[in-house]
Structure formats: structure tokens, C-alpha cells
Amino acid sequence: MSVDTTAGQEQDKHSQTALTLRSIAFSHYNEKARWALDYYKVPYVEYRSLPLCHIISMFKYRAKTHTPGAGASGFVTPHLTIESKGYSASEDKNKEKVTLNDSTKIVEFLSDQYAAPANSNGRHSASPNLYTNDEASRTKVQALEERFDNMIGPHVRRVVYYEILVQSPSSVGRSLGQHNNAGKLQTWIWSIFFPIIAYLLCKVMHINEVSASRSRDILKREFEHISRVLESGPPGPAYLVGNQFTAADLTLASLGGLVVGVTEEEGYGAWVPRMSVFRPEAKAFLEELRQTTAGQHILECYKLHRGRKAPGSSYGFKCFGLW
Ligand SMILES: N[C@@H](CCC(=O)N[C@@H](CS)C(=O)NCC(=O)O)C(=O)O
């Protein structure tokens, strides 16, 4: 596939390719991939799962040759399939199928395929390159993205899961399986087997008071560091690299959104609990991060750059619409 330049060609490309995202709906790494899809206004079908149920959903799509990064299994999400439409039966479909099971690879792929070309500022041009059109800035963006993937993502997951699975399982944890975060059958499984699911998730991901407290400290330090980076930039709208929204901002906002209380109404691509339902200690922690320059930057990125799903996007279901 090549990078096209005009709106007409863009339209054409969208109608010639079918994109399917397989996700754990409320997961922040999935939010990162979804954000990039929505940013470039690419229509896609999203098949959503709940944790552990995702093993069944992802069984056919599991990574068979290597294990993805720390904390992730072969059944890892986000998982994006890109297929060309309109084959004759005799054509080799595999030649036209791309599969990506890592949020960073997905963002890079989408930016590469759908970004507006350098020097384009036409009325109909697509969103700009999330990695910039300048080599030095690209390197900075990638370094920050990697840092956030490793230093924000896993710690946000641990802190949030600790609150919902350990501290407020019945009031908050159970609700994650509802609100259309997956098909009805998964919702029932989540609700009936919730205590076992919560126990297993905590075991597998080493979620407990000690690890959560360590993750809270790391997040505080990271937010302080990011705030300093933002505060030391030139006057004007603050972005992490140069004066444009890049994959670094997108990664920080998508991975950090849950710990500053971003909700579905504010743009998060799945239902997540509001800050107000957490216990006071958790609320205070989220509020503290929200008030930092980094926290405010995340909210600003959601306001200014979190596009909605492109027309033609939908949710996919299996099992007669139940899964
Ligand atoms: N490095 C990966 C991490 C993705 C990740 O950790 N995904 C989690 C959801 S937050 C997942 O699907 N876990 C289930 C599993 O690995 O089986 C990425 O950026 O996509």
C-alpha cells in the first residue's frame, strides 16, 4: 500500500481496505490504537472483549511466533488486521493481509499510510504525520513514546486494576463488564464469575497494595518529569515535541487518561468509571495527577485531538450477536 495525497485518493483507500480491531474495550493500550484510527478518520470494525474472555476471542489471532512485551501474552490486544477488499477467489489473500498486535506498531502504520504528505495544508488534507516530517523530531517522538509505553502504561494498569478489583470490586469492578464494553455473553460471564476473574487477574499481574503503591510513586515521578518537559517548551500551545500534536502526546494521553479521570463523554473510546466512584484515597491521587501540567495536557489533548469514530465504523459481534 502506498501513501496517497488527495482527499479523493484517501476516500478510495478507505473503501478498498477493511480494518478490524480486536480489543479489550477499556484497556488504555487499546485506546491508543483506537485514537490513531479515529485521528486519521479510518473506518474500522471493533470486536471488543473483557479480560480473560479475550483469550477465547483472540485464540485464532494469538501470536504464534513470539511473546509480545512485558505483562502481555500471546493473546495480546490491540490487534489490527488490514485486508484489501475485492479479491477474486483465485487470488492469494495472505499477500494482501497485514496483522499488527502492538499499539506502537499500529500508530506507526496508520501514520505512515494515512497522514497528510509533508507541506500539505489543503482544506481536505488528512491529519498530519504523528511522527513529524523531520528526522530529529521523529527520533524524539519515538523515544518519548517508548518511555510512556514502559513507564506509564504498566503502572496505570496496576494502579487502576488495584482500585477496581481490590478496593472497590462490587461497586466499580463489576460495572466494567457492562455499559456495552462487550457482548451480552461476556457481560454475563464477567458478572457471574467476577470474584474468580478478579482473583486471577490480580494473581497474573501481581496486583497488590505493595505493587500498587510502587506504581503510584513511579507515576507521580513520571508526571512531574513530563510537566517539567512541557513547562520548559517555547511559549504558546504546549506539545511534547515541537509545536504539533505527535505520537508522544497521543501515547501520553491515551495511556495516562485513566489516571486523570478521562471518561467516555470526554472522548475515551469505551466506558470507564468516573473519578467520583473511587475511594477517597484514590480520588485524591487521581486529582493530584490531574492538576499537574502533564495531567492538564492530557485533558487538553482529549479536547483538541481525540477525534470520534469515522462514519462507516461499527462494533462487531460473534455468536449471534452475543459475544
Ligand atoms: N506493548 C503492548 C502492550 C499491550 C497490552 O499490554 N495489552 C493488554 C491490555 S492492557 C492485553 O491485551 N493483555 C492481555 C494479554 O496479554 O493476554 C502494546 O503497546 O500494544
Question: pLDDT, tens digit, for every residue of 184-225?
Answer: 999 999 999 999 999 999 999 999 999 999 999 999 999 999
Q: Is 63 in the pocket of ligand 1 (CB under 6 A)?
A: no
State the residue for C-alpha cell 497521543. Answer: 250
- Residue 29 near residue 53, CB atoms below 8 Å: no
Q: Is the peptide bond before 311 cis (omega within 30 degrees of 0)?
A: no
Distance 69 CA to ligand 1 centre (A): 8
Question: pLDDT tens, 6-61?
Answer: 455 555 566 678 999 999 999 999 999 999 999 999 999 999 999 999 999 999 99
- Residue to substitute in 21, 28, 29, 165 for testing ligand 1 pocket (most ligand atoms within 8 angstroms of CB): 29
Transcribe 273-309 into DSSP letters: --GGGS-HHHHHHHHHHHHSHHHHHHHHHHHHH-PPP
Backbone angles phi, psi at 293, to 5 degrees: -60, -40
- Which atom of ligand 1 is nearest to 77's Cα? 12
**pLDDT classification of 282: cutoffs 50, 70, 90:** very high
What DSSP state is assigned to residue 310?
A: P
User: Of all atoms in ligand 1, which is nearest to the CA of residue 154?
Assistant: 6
Name the architecture of domain 139-305. Up-down Bundle (1.20)
In the chain, CATH 3.40.30.10 covers 7-121+308-316
Q: Which CATH class is domain 7-121+308-316?
A: alpha beta
The angle, 0 to 180 degrees and rounded to 10, between the axes of the packed helices 247-256 and 135-151 is 10
Ligand 1 center from residue 71 Cα (angstroms): 7
In the reported structure, the alpha carbon of residue 78 is separated from the centroid of ligand 1 by a whole-number distance in angstroms of 7
Which pTM value belongs to this model? 0.92
Using a 10 angstrom Cβ sphere, with 0-12 exposed, 13-18 middle and 19 or more buried, the burial of residue 94 is exposed
Nearest CA, atom 9, ligand 1: 27
Q: Cite the residue boundaries of each domain of the chain with CATH code 1.20.1050.
A: 139-305
